[in-house]
């Protein structure tokens, strides 16, 4: 079938919106009509050419929501009409990783996903006979896409697509990193580096669990008011403080952060985020994605003296199990998504969404179809 998609033909060039061809679902696959998709910084990262797994041409996008149109042979858990959120971290419930109960990183289809292909090793997308890669197994910058059944979370039908699409990445990543990965407890002091689409959800999660101080660090002062609305108690602009930011945060928190989160993708900040943690127990969770070839550094003494570096992908969430619950939280008014969606636009304007992100003028832009 013909579908409308934004294609990344080459790195660091604007996306091109045009009609592409999509093959129907094969065994174990599902055709989904995408109704809305957020634009995450990771899409921009891959488009920049810094992602070692970045492939071109590709249809990017991994923060969508939509409706099942058709199911392939053998699909049991979904039927046409079901409302779904695509999962770049699937949940097969059968692989060694899922069964371990120690990680959300289901590996059932990870290899082909990283190659921009469906699990059978082929692509469903093409343009004028030329193959186009899938992206993160989701490719939500298209009004129809095909996904494996294990990469779809079934959600309630009264949830608005243009809001809950954000649960497909940013909301779950931020709140999940607090709850599932760091396991922040009430009364803890939390420091969040980067107050964008992820960092504000970390702040939201920290407030939900009853954190004490919630310190936000960002070089863009325009992020401050919304961060305060979401629960930030102290704002630090690295450009406005004298001296070493690590010492500044350690003093501010009277000994260091119990929990810190890096939500930028900058390896220098990852070091600061570790070193501003409390001696003996502070835990730093890395969420930001750094460019290929970049490495993190610290004195091993930082770890010897009890600080811990962890990482979190998709907030440690098991998508088919946890995403429907997070949709319920939104519908019950327990979490705020609406105020984080600062821009809504059609697919034709998707390059504007990327520009707004780079200029620091948006939190989340959502594309509606």
- Residue with Cβ nearer ligand AHE (123 or 312): 312
Per rule CB under 6 A, is residue 51 in the interface with ligand AHE? yes
Backbone angles phi, psi at 57, to 5 degrees: -75, 150
First-residue to last-residue Cα distance in the chain: 17
Per rule CB under 6 A, is residue 198 in the interface with ligand NAD? yes
Q: Residue 320 CB, nearest distance to ligand AHE (Å)?
A: 16
Q: Residue 78 CB, nearest distance to ligand NAD (Å)?
A: 24
- Binders of ligand AHE among residues 71 to 90 (CB under 6 A) are 89
- The C-alpha atoms of residue 353 and residue 351 are separated, in whole angstroms, by 5
Q: Check residue 239 and report its DSSP letter.
A: G
Catalytic, 42? Answer yes
Could you give the string, one character per residue 256-295, with x where binding to ligand NAD holds by CB under 6 A and - elsewhere? -------xxxx--x-----------------xxx------
Q: Residue 43 CB, nearest distance to Zn ion (Å)?
A: 7
Catalytic, 263? Answer no
**Which letter, b or e, does each residue of 260-291 get, where b requires 16 or more Cβ atoms within 10 Å of its Cβ?**
bbbbbbbbebbbbbbbbbbeeebbbbbbbbbe
Q: Which of 30, 68, 118, 169 binds Zn ion (CB under 5 A)?
A: 169
Q: Are 56 and 133 in contact (CB under 8 A)?
A: yes
Which of 218, 3, 244 has its CA nearest to residue 132? 3
Backbone angles phi, psi at 337, to 5 degrees: -110, -35
- The C-alpha atoms of residue 123 and residue 117 are separated, in whole angstroms, by 5
Of Zn ion, ligand NAD, ligand AHE, none, which one sits near residue 220, judging by CB under 5 to 8 A according to partner kind?
Answer: ligand NAD
Mark residue 270 as left, alpha or beta (left: phi above 0; alpha: psi -120 to 50; beta: remaining): alpha
Q: Residue 342 CB, nearest distance to ligand AHE (Å)?
A: 18
- The C-alpha atoms of residue 311 and residue 287 are separated, in whole angstroms, by 6
Radius of gyration, CA atoms only, the chain: 20
Give the range of 46-54, 70-78, 181-189, 259-267 binding ligand AHE by CB under 6 A: 46-54
Q: Which of 8, 34, 42, 320 binds Zn ion (CB under 5 A)?
A: 42
Tokens standing for residue 11? 């790195």
User: What DSSP assignment string belongs to 142-201?
Assistant: BSEEEEEGGGEEEE-TTS-HHHHGGGGTHHHHHHHIIIIII---TT--EEEE--STTHHH
Per rule CB under 5 A, is residue 85 in the interface with Zn ion? no
- Binders of ligand AHE among residues 160 to 179 (CB under 6 A) are 169
Active-site option among 23, 110, 228, 233? 110
Per rule CB under 6 A, is residue 88 in the interface with ligand NAD? no
How many residues sit close enough to ligand AHE to count as binding (CB under 6 A)? Answer: 13
Residues within the interface to ligand AHE (CB under 6 A)? 40, 42, 51-53, 89, 105, 110, 169, 289, 292, 313-314
Residues within the interface to ligand NAD (CB under 6 A)? 40-42, 45, 169-170, 173, 193-199, 217-220, 223, 238, 263-266, 269, 287-289, 312-314, 357, 360
Residues within the interface to Zn ion (CB under 5 A)? 40, 42, 169
């Amino acid at each position: 079938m013909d579908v409308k998609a934004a294609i990344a033909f080459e790195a660091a060039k604007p996306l091109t919106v045009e009609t592409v061809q999509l093959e129907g679902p094969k065994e174990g696959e599902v055709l989904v009509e995408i109704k809305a998709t957020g634009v995450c910084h990771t899409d921009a990262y891959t488009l920049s050419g810094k992602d070692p797994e970045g492939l071109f041409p590709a249809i990017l996008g991994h923060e969508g929501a939509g409706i099942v149109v058709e199911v392939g042979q053998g699909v049991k858990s979904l039927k046409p009409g079901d409302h779904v959120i695509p999962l770049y971290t699937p949940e097969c419930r059968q692989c060694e990783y899922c069964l371990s109960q120690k990680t959300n990183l289901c590996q059932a289809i990870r290899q082909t996903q990283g190659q921009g292909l469906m699990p059978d090793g082929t692509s469903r997308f093409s343009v004028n006979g030329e193959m186009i890669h899938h992206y993160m197994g989701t490719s939500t910058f298209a009004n129809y896409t095909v996904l494996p059944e294990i990469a779809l979370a079934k959600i309630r039908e009264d949830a608005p697509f243009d809001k809950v699409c954000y649960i497909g990445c940013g909301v779950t990543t931020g709140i999940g990193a607090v709850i599932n990965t760091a396991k922040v407890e009430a009364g803890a002091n939390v420091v969040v580096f980067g107050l964008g689409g992820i960092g504000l959800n970390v702040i939201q999660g920290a407030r939900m669990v009853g954190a004490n101080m919630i310190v936000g660090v960002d070089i863009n002062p325009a992020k401050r008011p919304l961060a305060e609305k979401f629960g930030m108690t102290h704002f630090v602009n690295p450009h406005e403080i004298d001296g070493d930011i690590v010492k500044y945060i350690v003093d501010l928190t009277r000994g260091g952060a119990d929990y810190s989160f890096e939500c930028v993708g900058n390896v220098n900040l990852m070091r600061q985020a570790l070193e501003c943690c409390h001696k003996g127990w502070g835990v730093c969770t890395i969420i930001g994605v750094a460019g290929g070839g970049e490495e993190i550094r610290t004195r091993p003494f930082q770890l010897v003296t009890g600080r811990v570096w962890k990482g979190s992908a998709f907030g440690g969430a098991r998508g088919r199990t946890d995403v429907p619950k997070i949709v319920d939280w939104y519908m019950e008014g327990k979490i705020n998504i609406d105020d984080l969606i600062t821009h809504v636009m059609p697919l034709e304007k998707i390059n504007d969404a990327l520009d707004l992100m780079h200029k620091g003028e948006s939190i989340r832009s959502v594309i509606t179809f």
